[in-house]
Amino acid sequence: MGRYLVSQKDNKKQIKNIIFPRFHQLDATRKLLASVFQNGAGGKYLIQHSPGSGKTNSIAWSAHFLADLHDAQNKKFFDSVLVVSDRNVIDQQLQEAMQPLWNLLLTQRSSWSTFEKARPLASRFPFAAK
């Protein structure tokens, strides 16, 4: 459970809050991971959230755990996980939510019109957000 803890820091880099997932976030993340573990990569999933319900943290937790998911033979399911947003407003929120979860965070600010533009990033970084 400790892997879900996310600290929020103030302007002075001091911890001001510690966030733990609400039930619907924990449930969605666990079900997503269980399905990928059982069925393998390549599935299509939809996780719905209402406004203010924690979409950003759900995305961060899901990406973090998918990037670290291993099968029964201890082989990683994914070499990298890309998080792509179509809203500029969520970019900063995603960065702040993902930073405590992963030491390496790449933010690509230029527009990715196709997945092919992101492919070189996937070969160099295990975890990327746009």
Q: At residue 109, does pLDDT exceed 80?
A: no
Q: How confident is the model at residue 1 (pLDDT cuts 50, 70, 90)?
A: low
* Cβ contact 18:6 at 8 Å: yes
Higher-pLDDT residue of 2 and 64 is 64
The mean pLDDT of the chain is: 76
Q: At residue 91, does pLDDT exceed 90?
A: no
Nearest Cα neighbor of 101 from 46, 20, 28 is: 20
Q: How confident is the model at residue 107 (pLDDT cuts 50, 70, 90)?
A: very low
The answer, as to whether pTM is greater than 0.75, is: no
Q: How many contiguous H segments (helices) and E segments (strands) does the chain have?
A: 4, 5
Q: At residue 31, does pLDDT exceed 80?
A: yes
Q: Where are the domains of the chain?
A: 2-129
